[in-house]
């Protein structure tokens, strides 16, 4: 799926990913980030493309107390769900 971003949103997202300790840059254009500060937390695989981002993967994160770790839950299926997560996390302005 793809999400359109304006220039301000693109700059904000790049800065957010660069400064976020839970984001990992995989290539010049691709990042994986876990957004633990929203409810429910989500994990995103994002690729910067012309005019926005491509979402290669997106899922809720669930915590297993017995294993003391996070695991993937339900997939985010729509661009609106991913955009909402990015807005709620402060990664992009509305």
- Give the start-to-end residue ranges of the domains of the chain: 2-89
**Which residue's structure tokens are 């989500």?**
42
Question: Is residue 30 within 8 Å of 45, Cβ to Cβ?
Answer: yes
Structure tokens at 73: 């839950």
- 58-79 in b/e form (b: 16+ CB < 10 A) is bbbbeeeeeeeeeeeeeebeeb
- Reference 77, options 92, 55, 61; nearest CA is 55
pLDDT digits (tens, 9 = 90+) for 18-75: 999 999 999 999 999 999 999 999 999 999 999 999 999 999 999 999 988 999 999 9
Instruction: Give the pLDDT confidence score for residue 67 in this predicted structure.
Output: 86
Instruction: Give the pLDDT confidence score for residue 23 in this predicted structure.
Output: 97
């Amino acid at each position: 799926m793809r999400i359109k971003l304006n220039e301000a949103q693109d700059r904000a997202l790049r800065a957010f990913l660069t400064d976020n300790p839970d984001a990992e840059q995989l290539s010049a254009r691709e990042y994986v980030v876990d957004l633990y500060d929203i409810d429910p937390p989500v994990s995103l695989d994002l690729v910067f493309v012309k005019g926005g981002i491509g979402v290669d993967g997106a899922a809720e994160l669930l915590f297993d107390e017995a294993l003391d770790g996070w695991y993937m839950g339900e997939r985010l299926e729509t661009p609106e769900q991913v955009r909402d997560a990015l807005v709620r996390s402060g990664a992009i302005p509305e």
